[in-house]
Amino acid sequence: MNDWWKKATVYEIYPRSFKDTNNDGIGDIQGIIEKLDYLENLGIDLLWVTPMYVSPQHDNGYDISDYYAIDPLYGTMEDFDRLIQEAKKRNIYLMMDMVLNHTSIEHKWFKESRKSKDNPYRDYYFWKDLKPDGSAPNNWTSRFGGSAWKYDEKTEQAYLHLFDETQADLNWENENVRNECYKILDFWAKKGIKGFRLDVVNLLSKTPGLPDDPVLGPTGDGRTHNVDGPKIHEYLHAMNQEVFKSMQLVTVGEMSSSTPEQCLLYSQEEREELSMIFSFHHMKSDYKGKAKWTNEPFSLEKLKASQSLFQEKMHKGKGWNALFYSNHDQPRALSRFADDRMYRQESAKLLAITLFGQQGTTFIYQGEEIGMTNAYFSSIDDYKDTESLAAYEELIASGFSEREALIILQQKSRDNARTPMQWDNSIYKGFSTREPWLRINPDEISAEKEMSDENSVFYTYQRLIAYRKKYPIFTEGSYRALDAENKELFIYERLYNEEKLLIISNFSNKNIHYKMPADYREPHRINILESNYGRENLSATLELKPYESLLLFRE
């Protein structure tokens, strides 16, 4: 089967925070190699490692200055080659994180481009005159706040940056840019990796002329003209033909605000673009409308509505989802969507079950498998992330007190997910022997503790990963939301031939009575695949405990 990756589970590593072996406080490639046995034990198939290329690290590697070399921070190219080999011995394959929407302004292309208006590299990026009144060339905003344009005195023009001002957007209209990007992909593919995670790849194509966006605010200010732009499918298809197809690579595109219709186009097999997509709509279940930097409470209704919509549409249209609740850009799902204090273990398992029952390729973000929680830093000095620091400034400038701004960061900052991996309970949690680059979360959670407890979150993930390989219903089954209006329960079933899966998750801290659907009552034989309360029997009416979750299989 050439779509083995549909049954696979991918583990995301944020190398900076995974495992430090030379004790400089920063995780490294050698650290990943040391932990491969742990990952093999968990049962994962693919590793997605966030960027380790040479970078000034303004956005922790998403600002690349040399695509062909490993940053010495993480090790050497020999270390990287060894990682591929060592992983392969354990049937684990690598997925590289590739950033093709922008480069660091320290990349040689940009340095050339900046020199003069007629430099051969000028057109690798977007350069424009300011408006006569001295304002930016258009009204587009950066995803990290403020205008998306940075004026450069040297040539008296501004360049486009949809992220940090040290990340200049590449001009994909330029054929040379496209060819350079294929070359980069090809270089890494030939090293024996199995795939790519493509960073913000729905932004590659911009409306020619870069017109003002008529829509303002979080859904607009440029998004009309830079999300799923006019040539995006053409570019991805070309990338597929040039590189992915012949090497049989698995690809996942980050599609932050793309619609389900667009996501289908990106991932339908016969279109030959990408294998699957990350959609982020469900990550907005604690946004105020579309606005992220608020402390809006989590809404289960929003989570269910967006996940159910994608499940149904992608199944019907034969697209493919990448399933995730956490990654390096999101606070810990356990802290956001459930209860990370009173019911931490139950909640972590509930999220695992609720996600792994769905259709798609499952992703685990480092630490999720041991139930790590948000860091809740209480001083702005503890935050390191460029997006969080910019958001803090903006919040203060718009009238929030420092305390209020910090409370929002505690809920929304990406640093919540970036604290070092907690391997054991020594002073620096087995991550390093010295003070790490980002503060450690001082709680008691550790991989060591999880491994020694047979009822732990870790083993729940281990079993879930195995079920997905064993039962075709996980990959093939259709999706049906049940009790869609319920504000506390997330219930859905999967249907495949005569088989059924039923997932029941109580996202509240209350006991709730739930009447089992007739199909799952006597005389049908129901197999309890997972229960986060160790339930052994079912009844016509269940009294669900706080954050209780069940995965039931009817053969």
- Select the binding partner of residue 199 from Ca ion, ligand GLC, none (C-beta < 5 to 8 A, by kind): ligand GLC
Q: Give the x-and-dash track for 2-31 against Ca ion (CB under 5 A).
A: ------------------x-x-x-x-x---
Tokens 């209480």 belong to 378
- Tell me the torsion sign for CA atoms 474, 479, 480, 482: positive
**167/411 with CB nearer ligand GLC:** 167
415 assigned to active site: no
User: Are 496 and 528 within 8 A, CB to CB?
Assistant: no
What radius of gyration, in Å, describes the C-alpha atoms of the chain? Answer: 23
Q: Interface residues for ligand GLC in 60-99 (CB under 6 A)?
A: 62, 99
Provide the terminal-to-terminal Cα distance of the chain, rounded to the nearest Å: 24
What is the distance between the alpha carbons of residues 14 and 332, in angstroms, rounded to a whole number?
Answer: 14
Using CB under 5 A as the binding rule, whether residue 435 contacts Ca ion is answered as no
- Select the binding partner of residue 22 from ligand GLC, Ca ion, none (C-beta < 5 to 8 A, by kind): Ca ion
- Select the binding partner of residue 99 from Ca ion, ligand GLC, none (C-beta < 5 to 8 A, by kind): ligand GLC
- Select the binding partner of residue 163 from Ca ion, ligand GLC, none (C-beta < 5 to 8 A, by kind): ligand GLC
339 assigned to active site: no
Q: Smallest distance from the beta carbon of 31 to Ca ion, in angstroms? A: 7
Q: Smallest distance from the beta carbon of 386 to ligand GLC, in angstroms? A: 8
What is the distance between the alpha carbons of residues 550 and 523, in angstroms, rounded to a whole number?
Answer: 19
- Select the binding partner of residue 415 from ligand GLC, Ca ion, none (C-beta < 5 to 8 A, by kind): none
Which of 12, 213, 254, 493 is the catalytic position? 254
Of 45, 59, 286, 415, the one binding ligand GLC by CB under 6 A: 59
With contacts defined by CB under 5 A, how many residues of the chain interact with Ca ion? 5
Phi then psi dihedrals of residue 142, to 5 deg = -80, 145
Q: Smallest distance from the beta carbon of 329 to ligand GLC, in angstroms? A: 5
Which of 12, 199, 213, 286 is the catalytic position? 199
What is the distance between the alpha carbons of residues 385 and 413, in angstroms, rounded to a whole number?
Answer: 8
What is the distance between the alpha carbons of residues 369 and 438, in angstroms, rounded to a whole number?
Answer: 20
User: Are 461 and 352 within 8 A, CB to CB?
Assistant: yes
Phi then psi dihedrals of residue 189, to 5 deg = -60, -40
**52/350 with CB nearer ligand GLC:** 52
**Coil, helix or strand at residue 81:** helix
Left (φ > 0), alpha (ψ -120 to 50) or beta: where does 471 sit?
beta
Altogether, the residues listed in the chain come to a count of: 555
User: Are 504 and 526 within 8 A, CB to CB?
Assistant: no
The amino acid at residue 439 is R
**331/477 with CB nearer ligand GLC:** 331
Q: Smallest distance from the beta carbon of 144 to ligand GLC, in angstroms? A: 8
**166/308 with CB nearer ligand GLC:** 166
∠ at Cα 423 (422, 427), nearest 5°?
70
Closest CA to 46 of 189, 251, 191: 251
Q: Which residue has the CB atom at the shortest distance from ligand GLC?
A: 62
- Select the binding partner of residue 96 from Ca ion, ligand GLC, none (C-beta < 5 to 8 A, by kind): none
- Say if strands 276-279 and 250-255 run parallel, antiparallel, or are unpaired: parallel
**328/412 with CB nearer ligand GLC:** 328
Using CB under 6 A as the binding rule, whether residue 329 contacts ligand GLC is answered as yes
Of 52, 168, 184, 200, the one binding ligand GLC by CB under 6 A: 200
Q: Smallest distance from the beta carbon of 310 to ligand GLC, in angstroms? A: 19
Catalytic residue annotation: 199, 254
Residues that bind ligand GLC (CB under 6 A): 59, 62, 99, 163, 199-200, 254, 328-329
